[in-house]
Amino acid sequence: MKYIIGVDSGGTSTKAAAYSLEGQLLKETQTGFGNLLNNAEEALANIRQSLLNLFEELGEDNCQMVVLGVAGVDSGDFREVIFENLAPIKPETVILNDAWMAHYALLDGEDGCLVISGTGSIVIGKFEGLEDRVGGYGNLLGDEGSGYDIAKELIKAVLNAFDKGETYSKLEKKLLKEGDFSTVFELVKFVYASGKDQVANLSMVVVEKASQGNEQAIQLLKEAGLKLANQVSMLIEKIGMHKSPKVAVTGSVLVKNDIVYETFMKEVKSKYPNGEFVRKNISNTRGGYSYYKRQVTQK
Amino acid sequence: MKYIIGVDSGGTSTKAAAYSLEGQLLKETQTGFGNLLNNAEEALANIRQSLLNLFEELGEDNCQMVVLGVAGVDSGDFREVIFENLAPIKPETVILNDAWMAHYALLDGEDGCLVISGTGSIVIGKFEGLEDRVGGYGNLLGDEGSGYDIAKELIKAVLNAFDKGETYSKLEKKLLKEGDFSTVFELVKFVYASGKDQVANLSMVVVEKASQGNEQAIQLLKEAGLKLANQVSMLIEKIGMHKSPKVAVTGSVLVKNDIVYETFMKEVKSKYPNGEFVRKNISNTRGGYSYYKRQVTQK
């Protein structure tokens, strides 16, 4: 049976899935991390292995196309390195930026915006042949409404309370306790000594407290939702999709947290009453199938 | 003749100066960088050499005290390392945080606040036995009104114009041209690939354009002044010095730029009409002498 492979190469694991030409999931496989920034050689070996796993069972000759979703592929020479490394693979191979892979997965190749908010955030979209993006400038310059941003806003509130000599709120105390920080200076040290995702993880304190009704925590999540709405509004205007925008969301902050998502959606709807929203749990590997289908349809 | 040595160990050079017990400058010397974070061994050799230079001319036995101003001495085990390394030096040796060294230099050991704004920013102060600080949490969490902050605000304005699909202002164009950035993505890449001082250096574009009357540039500098005023107000309230605060400033942003300083001073004065300001170009090494004098007076 002929099939398509979609690969989602992430920071912790590489997921690959084979889809029939009608879009039916045939087989999935998972190997180690596929982010080339971690360790290019190992990541490439993991990506290759995921393909070999599927070839072995379904036959390499039956595979019509391999679509890889890879983070950071637009910067650096990742594209070349991957192509070189996968040269022995017979099927046609296409590399997409991981964000566009998610866009294909959620919007099936249709026009629309995709708002991603996990550790960082970015908005991408296309409309009538125009592709563009907003944000995604990383933790130093942006990542509005991301997990990192939510954690940072809480940390700044702690520092502000300290600078003013005020007592900490319940949420602020919870953060210090949770992270085992006996002083604000230890908290600051942690931020500088840790990876972005470790800092973003501190936002879980906000999520937990918000679910218990803590007002400060709810407010922080609402602000994240408003920031993300602002980002997507910018993109909608930029690509001229304001009449009836289609907006998909992905990433843990928007998919798992209802306060962020509801605030986000309400705000976007207040500007674009005809807005249509897509929020579903779907594997990014499916973006590979959608990409293939779109190519075939357009031929 | 008996004398005191003050050492200002900075990121590019180490300056040491000998002062008579009456405060007269006797001799200065300069060696390589003295920031232990760059390279501890080399920094310590430079600091030691600066002392030996002065001992050679003025006699080690005549030296009553060595006062070192060292960056980041409160974090890590710098203090121990320095003491160990300087053990063969005979005179009593004292290590101060570089910010407090500057405080002694400008305020002569008296009560008051010191606002520092260079690459980063921090406010420290003491009043009636109480010492405290505000800010100084680095470029990820603060450094309000610093050179880095000014540069970041301009970069964010560029990114915002790009995200909105608007044309760049004159100032924004100047930044892109000055840094040889052909796209915003190159600018973003630069921020992530560069040291903090390299990013802070981009603020010189703002300073230059402001001096030519560019409104956006002037506004950015005024905002830096307001942020610094806000930081010092917090500290004044925190240490209870609000009746007639004494406020000294140092660092290139406040010392060299009149727009930042005037805005800062006006804002602080609007809150504390009895405020007294100190803005003078004085070597931090002089803080060593002031420290010594204060010790002697208190004995």
Q: Does A198 touch chain B (CB under 8 A)?
A: no
A163, B138: Cβ pair inside 8 Å? no
The answer to whether position A218 is within a domain reads yes
Residue B170 sits in the same domain as residue B255: yes
A141, B135: Cβ pair inside 8 Å? no
Q: Tokens 């496989």 — which residue?
A: A29
Q: Which residues of A are less than 8 Å from B134 in CB distance?
A: 163
Residue A85 sits in the same domain as residue A200: no
CA–CA separation, B265 and B273 (whole Å): 10
Q: Does A237 touch chain B (CB under 8 A)?
A: yes
For residue B262, give the CATH number of its domain: 3.30.420.40
CA–CA separation, B15 and B69 (whole Å): 10
Domain end among A69, A91, A113 = A91
Q: Tokens 């084979």 — which residue?
A: A18
Strands A121-127 and A112-117: antiparallel
Residue A264 sits in the same domain as residue A161: yes
What is the predicted pLDDT for the residue at B35? 85
Residue B85 sits in the same domain as residue B196: no
Residue B154 sits in the same domain as residue B257: yes
B238, A75: Cβ pair inside 8 Å? no
Q: Which of B160, B157, B139 is nearest to B148 (CA)?
A: B139
Q: Which of A205, A202, A162, A122 is nearest to B142 (CA)?
A: A162
What is the predicted pLDDT for the residue at A296? 83
Q: Does A141 touch chain B (CB under 8 A)?
A: yes
CA–CA separation, A63 and B143 (whole Å): 54
Q: A197 near A233, Cβ under 8 Å? A: no
Residue A87 sits in the same domain as residue A173: no
Domain end among A91, A109, A135 = A91
CA–CA separation, B18 and B24 (whole Å): 8
Which amino acid is located at B2 in the chain? K
Q: Which pair of tokens denotes residue A169?
A: 């709120």
Tell me the nearest-neighbour CA distance from B84 into chain A, angstroms.
Answer: 25
CA–CA separation, A218 and A258 (whole Å): 11
Q: Which of A141, A156, A165 sits opposite B191 (nearest CB)?
A: A141
Largest CA distance in chain B: 69
The residue ranges of chain A whose pLDDT is under 70 are: 75-76, 299
The answer to whether position A134 is within a domain reads no
Evaluated on CA atoms B229, B232, B238, B240, the torsion sign reads negative
The alpha helices in chain B, defined as continuous H runs, are 40-58, 78-85, 98-107, 147-164, 170-178, 184-193, 196-201, 203-211, 215-239, 252-256, 258-271, 286-298
What is the predicted pLDDT for the residue at B76? 65
Evaluated on CA atoms A101, A105, A106, A110, the torsion sign reads positive
A140, B238: Cβ pair inside 8 Å? no
Residue A157 sits in the same domain as residue A255: yes
Q: A46 near A31, Cβ under 8 Å? A: yes
Q: Which of A203, A200, A231 is nearest to A114 (CA)?
A: A231
What is the predicted pLDDT for the residue at A72? 74
CA–CA separation, B251 and B203 (whole Å): 14
Rg of chain B over Cα atoms, rounded to whole angstroms, equals 21
Taking CA–CA distances from B236, the nearest residue in chain A reads: A164
The answer to whether position A162 is within a domain reads yes
What is the predicted pLDDT for the residue at B79? 86
- Helices and strands in chain A, H and E counts: 12, 10
Residue B47 sits in the same domain as residue B151: no
Q: Does B233 touch chain A (CB under 8 A)?
A: no
Size of interface A-B (CB pairs under 8 A): 61
Evaluated on CA atoms B19, B23, B24, B30, the torsion sign reads positive
The answer to whether position A57 is within a domain reads yes
CA–CA separation, A202 and B140 (whole Å): 15
Residue A263 sits in the same domain as residue A182: yes
Backbone angles phi, psi at A98, to 5 degrees: -60, -30
What is the predicted pLDDT for the residue at A299? 57
**Collapsing DSSP states into helix, strand and coil, what is residue A280?**
coil
CA distance readout (Å), B100 to B8, B225, B247: 11, 22, 14
Tell me the nearest-neighbour CA distance from A79 into chain B, angstroms.
Answer: 18
Q: Which of A134, A141, A163 sits opposite B155 (nearest CB)?
A: A141
Q: Which residues of B78-113 are buried (b: 16+ CB within 10 A; e: fewer)?
A: beebbeebbeebebebebbbbbbbbbbbbbbbebbb
Quote the domain boundaries for residue B212.
147-278
CA angle A160, A166, A168 (to 5 degrees): 80
The answer to whether position B118 is within a domain reads no
Q: B29 near B8, Cβ under 8 Å? A: no
Residue A80 sits in the same domain as residue A159: no
pLDDT string in tens for chain B (299-residue length): 999 999 999 878 899 999 999 999 999 999 998 888 778 899 999 999 999 999 999 999 999 999 999 887 776 678 888 888 888 889 999 999 899 999 999 999 999 999 999 999 999 999 999 999 999 999 999 899 999 999 999 999 999 999 999 999 999 999 999 999 999 999 999 999 998 989 999 999 999 999 999 999 999 999 999 999 999 999 999 999 999 999 999 999 999 999 999 999 999 999 999 999 999 989 999 999 999 998 887 75
The answer to whether position A260 is within a domain reads yes
Q: Which residues of B are less than 8 Å from A231 in CB distance?
A: 163
CA distance readout (Å), B218 to B142, B153, B263, B279: 21, 13, 10, 21
Segment (H or E) for A107: helix A98-107
The answer to whether position B285 is within a domain reads no
Tell me the nearest-neighbour CA distance from B8 into chain A, angstroms.
Answer: 25
Q: B278 near B107, Cβ under 8 Å? A: yes
- Number of C-beta neighbours around residue B10 at 10 A: 17
Strands B121-127 and B112-117: antiparallel
Q: Does A88 touch chain B (CB under 8 A)?
A: no
Residue B76 sits in the same domain as residue B10: yes
Q: Does B185 touch chain A (CB under 8 A)?
A: yes
Q: Which of B132, B141, B189 sits opposite A188 (nearest CB)?
A: B141
Tell me the nearest-neighbour CA distance from A257 into chain B, angstroms.
Answer: 25
Q: Which pair of tokens denotes residue B137?
A: 């949490």
Total domain count for chain B?
2
Best interface-test mutation with A: which of B115, B137, B139, B236 has the largest number of A CBs within 10 A? Answer: B137
Residue B154 sits in the same domain as residue B268: yes
Which amino acid is located at A185 in the chain? F
Rg of chain A over Cα atoms, rounded to whole angstroms, equals 21
CA–CA separation, A176 and A84 (whole Å): 48
Q: Which residues of B64-77 are buried (b: 16+ CB within 10 A; e: fewer)?
A: ebbbbbbbebeeee
CA–CA separation, A162 and A169 (whole Å): 11
Q: Which residues of B are less than 8 Å from A135 in CB distance?
A: 163
A192, B163: Cβ pair inside 8 Å? no
Q: Does A299 touch chain B (CB under 8 A)?
A: no
The answer to whether position A66 is within a domain reads yes
CA–CA separation, A192 and B141 (whole Å): 9
